[in-house]
Every structure is written in structure tokens, then in C-alpha cells.
Structure 1
């Protein structure tokens, strides 16, 4: 843990280091819009505010176990590896003050006076990690009621408190009354119903109010869901437009190909017609040449040879045969 100063709670943690840590978080995760990023910062701050004291409490308990001592002063120089010795010793000095001891005792007494408080069994794992795990196991979206129900039950299936049981039953009944008995048709979370049930559970001296940050997270979850749905609708519209454009391009290409094939077929038919015409012309010319040659031979035999008193080619042939 990069701790620039000894801070016993997240409120007193270095603001500059908070920015560095959040920027590290943002470098590992991507969000679609500025709204999502602002929601991520709020949830990140709430989570750190909730987990930071738990981290220090566990480190302090382990140090006491290692040193086998309940004297807070004995823990100096024996902090976890993730915290520098000077920072750890500064924390020990804070824990040793009367003010911190007074607040610690008051907190223990407060928790002891509320045995039916709505504690959860989620451990150090965030609600987001529980949600992703449940969605992976069930292969479907998980409602906030299902998530809340899961992390407020023990391993034997019993609720951690009557308060938690009454709250989730009241929420489920209100959702069924508003949306019907089929829970699969209910929205992921209804912040109006959640807030209403939270307000009902605040009535009476023996009840414990629902944590405000849970209601805030439910509201943020609903808002982020609406934002994601809006983005999904925009993506769907863009995909439909792209599909329409691709289909138009494919149709245009198909028409172009058909036109090219038709043009090639027409050109081939023209070439065949030209070749046929040339063959017919060549045959006609040969016939005309033969007719001209026959006419010239007849003119030669009938007009020229008699005028010259020369034997016709056939007479010459007969004469030759007689001489033999």
C-alpha cells in the first residue's frame, strides 16, 4: 500500500495519493461515457471508505497475534509488508491515543447493542465481484434483490438477521405487487420500491435503518443500467444501419456483376454473329469467284479461241490422243 502519511481512515488519506490510485484503477478499466466515469469514481470512493478501515483492522489483529500482545504500543515495527515501518508506527501512535480508544469502544458498544443489524456475509469481496460471479454461475443478469438476498444469508441458508429477512421479503413482495409474480420479468432494480421499503424499515425504535450507501448504490446501479441500455440501443441502431449499408453494397455489387456477365454474353453473341457473317461472306465470295471463272472459260472457248482459229482445250486433248 502506497501510504504517504499515517491515516487511520480514508477521509484523512492523502488526496494526491487518492488521485494516483484512482488513475491506476482507470488505466485498468474502461468506461463508455463521462457519466459512467463519474459514477465509477463515486462507487470507488465508497468502496475504499468501507474497505480501508477493514484492511487496517485485519493488519492490526494479525500484528497482535504475531506479537502475542494486546498492548498497542508493542505493535511498533511489526506492521505488514505493504506498509512502510514509519507509516505503521504513525498508525500505532494514532491507535494509542485516548480519542481513538474512545471511538473504538463506542463502536463496539454500538454494534453489540444492535444484534439484529443488517450485516452481510460478503466478506471483503465487493458487491460488484459477487454480482459478476453470480451472473457467471447462472449465465443470466442478476437482480439487485437476488444479490442482496445472497450476501445476507449464511452457509446454512438462514438470514444473518430478522432485519435482513424482513427487508428482502418486503422488497420482493412489493416488486411482485408492482410487476407480477414472475420474477424473471422484474427489472434489475427499482429504486422507487427500494427507497420505499427502506423508509418503512426506518420506522419504529427497534429497527435499524438501511445503510444510505446501499440505497445510493442501488440508485447508481439503476442509472448505469439505463445508460447502458441507451448505449445498447444506439449500438443496435448503428449495427442496423451498417447492415443496411452492407446489404445495399452487396446488392449493388450483385447488380454490377450481373450487368458485367450480361455485357460479356452480349459481346460473345456479337462475336459469334460476326464470325458467322464473315463465314457466309467468305462462302459467297468463293461462289462468285467460281462463277466468274466458269464464265471466263466459257467466253474463252466460245469467243476467243474460235476467233484466233485455235483449238479449244478439249480439241487439243483429242488431237494428242489421235497422234498416239
Structure 2
């Protein structure tokens, strides 16, 4: 995927969009998706891209690795969005996941949503979720804000537009600050490569940056 498509972002967005539009089971992870559904998902992906037959096996492996990697964040976002919506509606959300029964995403059928909530309510799942949360909490640097774009891809794109390599500090802030507050957002949105190394508003942007989380800022300071 990442080496066969010129636009990695488009390919990964198509994969996620297809997964959501064809979601039809209480799937916990990619390995729980029935083979016939996996085949249907890849066929849908093929409708968006063309390649020579010799690349079929290689592309399928990359596609499967990518779509499998989408599951953890997708399901975590589904739960977080449901909790946020419930709280906005005045619902007191506790540890019981069935509190979210009325706040499913539009693309998941009601009977499937109930099965997913039942699974997330089991002691085994909650214990695993807690372990994963602790592991993420121990990670240094905080999460990045590049979306489907890789760190290396961001650096290559920036170097092409700016006409120079990003410094370590620039790359860190560009990948760990929220969109709109990142110091180089203005320059990187410009198609011209004839840009000054220092923006006239650079100091203002520096003062107004918003870190994606506390770990990102703490790592920067340290």
C-alpha cells in the first residue's frame, strides 16, 4: 500500500470508508471478520484503484495489514464518540457500557451495536482495555496529529514544499501540535516551493501552538 500508491492518504481513507460502509457484524478485530466479508472489502477497494496483475498478492498483503491496523482506533473512537454524545444529552455514563445503547453510530445496526456493547461489558475485555490504556499512558512523546499520513511522509512533503529539510524541532511540533496551531501549517498549505525559512508570523504561531496532549508537551520541554 505505502509503496505502490502515490497518494497514501487517499488509499487509507478509502480503506476506512469501505470498512465503515460494509460493517455488518460485532467484529472485535480484523481476525473476527468472516472471509467472505474480507473478500467483499477487497473487491470494493479494487473499484477505486487499478494496478497490474503482478502486484495483486503484494497489494493484498499491504491492504490487509492496513485495514487490520484500523480496527483498534476505529472502535476506540466509536466508544469515545458515543460517550461524548451521551454526556451531551445529559446521560450519566458509568462503567456499564449498556449506558451507550441509544448512542450508536449511524453505520452500525442496532442489533450489532448491542452485541458490541455486551462484549465491551465483559470483565475480560475491561481488564484488557485497562492494560492497553496503561501501556499507552507509559508511552513517551504523546500521540501524533498526522492522521493517516506517516511521519516520514510528512517530512518528505514538507521538504519538497519548503525546499529544505525540517529540523528535528520543527518536525516534532508539526506532528505533535493540533491542526491550525502548528507553526508550519500556513507554509505547508501553499503549493509554492519558494517560501521563506522563517514566516513573518512565526513568533505568534510559536506562542499559540496547542499540544495534542500533555505527554507531547512534556517531552518537548524535557
Q: TM-score, normalised by structure 1?
A: 0.40
Give 1:184's aligned residue: none
Residue 144 (structure 2) aligns with: 120
Q: 1:6 aligns with which of 26, 41, 44?
A: 26
Uncovered stretches (5+) of structure 2, i.e. residues with no partner: 1-19, 184-205
CA contact under 8 A between 2:142 and 2:176: conserved in structure 1? no
- Structure 1: segments with no counterpart, 5+ residues: 165-324
- The structure carrying a bigger helix percent of its residues is 1
1:1-324 aligned within 5 A: 1=20, 2-35=22-55, 37-67=56-86, 68=91, 69-70=93-94, 71-112=96-137, 114-116=138-140, 119-123=143-147, 125-127=148-150, 134=157, 138=161, 152-154=175-177, 155=182, 160=216
Distance 1:45 1:151, change over 3 A: farther
Displacement of 1:153? 4.5
CA contact (8 A) 1:4 1:14 kept: no
> What is the CA distance between 1:150 and its match in structure 2?
8.6
Q: What is the SS of the residue equivalent to 1:105? A: helix
Partner of residue 199, structure 2: none
Aligned residue pairs total: 154
Q: Distance in 1 between matches of 2:46 and 2:150?
A: 19
Matched residue SS, 2:47: helix
In the aligned structure 2, how far is the partner of 1:18 from the partner of 1:150? 38
Instruction: Output one character per residue of 1:215-252: Cα deviation in whole Å (capped at 9) or x when no partner.
Output: xxxxxxxxxxxxxxxxxxxxxxxxxxxxxxxxxxxxxx
CA 1:46 to 1:161, structure 2 compared with 1: closer, same or farther past 3 Å?
Answer: farther
- Secondary structure (helix, strand or coil) at the match of 2:107 reads coil
User: C-alpha distance in 1, partners of 2:63/2:38?
Assistant: 10
Report the counterpart of residue 195 of structure 2 in structure 1: none
Alpha carbons of 1:55 and 1:120: their partners in 2 closer, same or farther (altered >3 Å)? same
Distance 1:25 1:4 in 2: 17
Aligned partner of residue 28 in structure 1, secondary structure: coil
Contact 1:152 1:160 in 2 (8 A): no
TM-score w.r.t. length of structure 2: 0.56
User: Is the deviation greater in 82-91 or in 9-18?
Assistant: 9-18
For the structure 1 residues 5 and 34, does the alpha-carbon distance in structure 2 shift closer, same or farther, using more than 3 Å as the test? Answer: same
Q: What is the alpha-carbon distance in structure 2 between the residues aligned to residue 72 and residue 85 of structure 1?
A: 14
Aligned to 1:199: none
2:24, 2:108 within 8 Å by CA — same for their partners in 1?
no
Counterpart secondary structure, 1:82: coil
Q: How much does 1:77 deviate? A: 4.0
What CA deviation, in whole Å up to 9, does each residue of 1:77-130 have, x standing for no partner?
Answer: 431101111111111011001110010000111122x2425743322x2439x6
Q: Which has the higher contact order (CA 8 A, sep 6+)?
A: 2
